[in-house]
Structure 1
Amino acid sequence: MRVLFTTIPEKSHLFCMTPMAWAMRAAGHEVRVASCAELVDAIARTGMTAVPTGTNDGITAGMSAHRESQEEWEAANWNELDPAKLTYEGELERIQLATYGSAMYNEPMIGELVAFARAWRPDLVVWDPLTYAGPLAAGAVGAAHARSPCFADVWTMKRQLFRKLSEEVPAGRRRDPLAEWLGGTAAQFGGSFTEELTTGQLTLDPLPASLGIATEAPRTPVRFVPYNGPAVAPDWLLTPPGRPRICLSLGASNTERYGGDYIPKGDILAALAELDAEVVAALLPAQVAELGALPDNVRVVDSVPLHALLPSCSLLIHHGGFGSYGTALTHGVPQLTVTTPVADQLYRGAGLEQQGAGLLLTTAEATPDAVRERASRILSDPAFLRNAARLRDEAAALPAPSEVVPVLERLAQERRAAPWRA
């Protein structure tokens, strides 16, 4: 059958769905991966066949202009899931902001993705949950479709809670910005809004039960498989470290999208160097260029894949990105999450803390002394390592992407529908 994967132009989102795309291709299916032109080279480097669908040159400028939203906008924080602490007005504001961002990401690619789908006729569309162009294209051709999250599914739970809050509001005052936007867009292609445009017909859940979110949406578990892009493992990784190794990884999104990181990298590295440990800073070239002189026990690298580095590490300090989080989870490495209160990042960091496998700091709390103190606590308490190993084993017990292929094959057969009529 023909399978279309699609994602917004973010490498981190692409990398999370790449192993599932490989699994479908290895099972003999035709696979295409579609995104804006900015991501085409990264798609091609995964070994998949890329399909450019529109351009989105303005996304970086738009996100940099709202850099403060990462730390200051309550509406950008999706981590609170306690119904008793939520209000209709607060959740409406959150959905309005999210819909604005979704439109900014998706509208440049929707038309060309639908046109490609109508020409290529996929049987199944697998979409990143921020890529609403995916279910719209699936509806246009009557294909089955599944979501492939690269996060804890706070979005679905938040929507579920928002809909319940909406029931308490008089009909004339209710608003649903996401449904309005998706419904209006679907109408351009002969369709209409249904909740499946937000939840998919199936969600591929990459988190073990101890760390995930149980929503009402249909889901099937799938093991997270780390993929960091093309890279070469350096020879020094073959020599076991003589003392605990700490990895500091700040990801790419903040630097590439928001114009910089949210913590003082150089000061934090200097503070970590005071510990009896080896510190490896896995940074982008742009991040490395901001550093000054560093202590002898700090090694700065800009091209080492985390899945090759982390098995030798006793601690990962990271920005909350799912790729870093999932790779450490896979290898049983305790984590110190230092993040902005945005999306699901506090939720995942708090989950590790509750499970005894890590600690959490917001960027506002992350002074060099605070980071060093948390790192020292994790390294000195073997319970963190034991709990990280327990979560590693729980995650490893989830079905591999290859084992989920038959689930997606059945979905494609059972959920085929009539295409929308424009």
Structure 2
Amino acid sequence: MRVLMTALVPSHLMPMVPLTWALRAAGHEVLVAGDTDVVRSARAAGLDGRLIGGSGTTRQQQTRPGAVTMVGRGALEQRAESEWAAVGARWRHRLGGYLDDFVALGRAWQPDLVVTDPVEFGGLIVAGALGVPGVVHRYGPDDITGPLLRQAVVQLRDLAREYGSADGFPAPALLVDPSPPSLLPEGEDDPSLLTRYIPYSGTAELPAWAIEPPERPRVLVCLGMWHGRHIAETGTLPPGFRHVLDACAQLGAEAVLPIDAEYHPLLGELPATVRVVDRFPIGPLLRHTAVTVHHGGSGTTMTSFVAGVPQLVLPGDKPFLQTTARLVERSGGGISLAGEEQQHDPRLVRQALADLLGEEHHRKAARAVGAEIAGLPGPTELVRTLEGLI
């Protein structure tokens, strides 16, 4: 079996990497198509990649999904028809930057199957053009995949037909969801196949401190990509995360802050209990981590649950991250400070962190979700399901 895989951005590719390894181990071929960053990430994971649409600033702008992915299901379904038409125009502009290359690659490589993330609509258009099954692989808990795909049927119908998909924008043959039942959003009715989440966020040479047990409780603080832009623009950490670092010092905990080295000089003076390191995979750190603090990204959320580590989520004003934060809190395995007023209050931040460090019921709940994840069928079983689609 020959599988063509694509993702809009590297973070969307990461949850699919364990599946690619299972496909390769079963004797199948995998080719990852995407922009420069996606192909670079594929190569780092030991996978073959193919650049589509060129590279550089223009390509990066064209492949950004747009603000539509930055909202939750409620806001999506409340959009007026004219708003969706404007969104569709942005989608068509983005796809126009590389769809010719993508379809040509598909016709040359002749895959039996296309696997794509939920917002890289080009993957399903290529599958429709080639007449092969298209599979959508979610990156974790979300409540936007269904509404977006339903709108793609409307907004991208003519574009898909131009490239040879006779029935317009095709429905996926399968939706793969690496989430346990307890983390499915309320009212989730998409016919997804649940599969076990296997953490992967790259590889690194681990320093001794990452392997040895710490002398004091360790809090792992993970910032999102837009937090880097905030630091670059303001020269400061976002207030909520700054309060977390201060609270760690007050509570006698060690804070580990993995962040790109370019931002280190901009962080200013930090408590002595903070260890600032260059960004690297968080999975190995979680063995000795008491609490993770993050913005609500699905990768950090799911990796923390796999390790049974309770979480403090600071999603800011982004509804799709607030969805994840709400699910974390609903599980009992974490606390969400969703509003900016909450996140900017140092007393609330300190109390939430103290509860997570001191209350055992959060850890028990996180471990229960981890056990639920471990009980789901893994990539090997998913490979058999994909083989059955051919």
Question: Do the two structures share a fold, i.e. TM-score over 0.5?
Answer: yes
Report how far residue 227 of structure 1 moved.
1.0
The amino acid that maps onto 2:43 is A
The amino acid that maps onto 1:135 is L
The amino acid that maps onto 1:185 is L
The amino acid that maps onto 2:221 is L
Find the counterpart in structure 1 of residue 238 from structure 2.
263
1:116 equivalent in alignment to 2:94? no
Report how far residue 400 of structure 1 moved.
1.2
Deviations 1:82-106 (A, max 9, x none): xxxx796536477456545544543
1:186 equivalent in alignment to 2:165? no
> What is the number of equivalent residue pairs in this alignment?
382
The amino acid that maps onto 1:263 is P
Q: CA RMSD in A?
A: 2.9
Moved more, 145-154 or 128-137: 145-154
State percent identity of aligned pairs: 31
Is the 2:15–2:200 contact (alpha carbons within 8 Å) kept by the matching residues of 1? yes
Is the 2:232–2:263 contact (alpha carbons within 8 Å) kept by the matching residues of 1? no
User: Do the aligned partners of residues 363 and 282 (structure 1) sit closer, same or farther apart at CA in structure 2, a change above 3 Å counting?
Assistant: farther
Report how far residue 55 of structure 1 moved.
3.2
Is the 2:227–2:238 contact (alpha carbons within 8 Å) kept by the matching residues of 1? no
Report how far residue 263 of structure 1 moved.
1.8
User: Do the aligned partners of residues 387 and 38 (structure 1) sit closer, same or farther apart at CA in structure 2, a change above 3 Å counting?
Assistant: closer
Deviations 1:336-358 (A, max 9, x none): 11113435321121111112111
Find the counterpart in structure 2 of residue 349 from structure 1.
325
Find the counterpart in structure 2 of residue 58 from structure 1.
58
Q: 1-side partners of 2:5 and 2:58: how far apart?
A: 23
User: Normalising to structure 1: TM-score of the pair?
Assistant: 0.82
User: Do the aligned partners of residues 52 and 229 (structure 1) sit closer, same or farther apart at CA in structure 2, a change above 3 Å counting?
Assistant: same
Structure 2, unmatched stretches of 5+, are none
Find the counterpart in structure 2 of residue 387 from structure 1.
365
Find the counterpart in structure 1 of residue 207 from structure 2.
234
The amino acid that maps onto 2:6 is T
From 376, 392, 398, the counterpart of 2:376:
398
Q: 2-side partners of 1:135 and 1:309: how far apart?
A: 36
Find the counterpart in structure 1 of residue 354 from structure 2.
376
Is the 2:72–2:143 contact (alpha carbons within 8 Å) kept by the matching residues of 1? yes
1:168-207 alignment runs, 5 A limit: 178-192=152-166, 196-197=170-171, 200-207=172-179
Find the counterpart in structure 2 of residue 282 from structure 1.
258
From 127, 137, 140, the counterpart of 1:148:
137
Find the counterpart in structure 2 of residue 209 from structure 1.
181
Deviations 1:210-235 (A, max 9, x none): 11146444321111111111311111
Find the counterpart in structure 2 of residue 224 from structure 1.
197
Structure 1, unmatched stretches of 5+, are 81-85, 164-175, 414-422
Deviations 1:271-290 (A, max 9, x none): 43221211111212233232
Asked which structure has the greater RCO (Cα within 8 Å, sep 6+), the reply is 1
Q: 2-side partners of 1:22 and 1:362: how far apart?
A: 36
1:292 equivalent in alignment to 2:268? yes
Q: 1-side partners of 2:337 and 2:381: how far apart?
A: 36
From 91, 105, 116, the counterpart of 1:127:
116
Report how far residue 156 of structure 1 moved.
3.7
Moved more, 221-230 or 54-63: 54-63
Q: 2-side partners of 1:126 and 1:353: how far apart?
A: 31
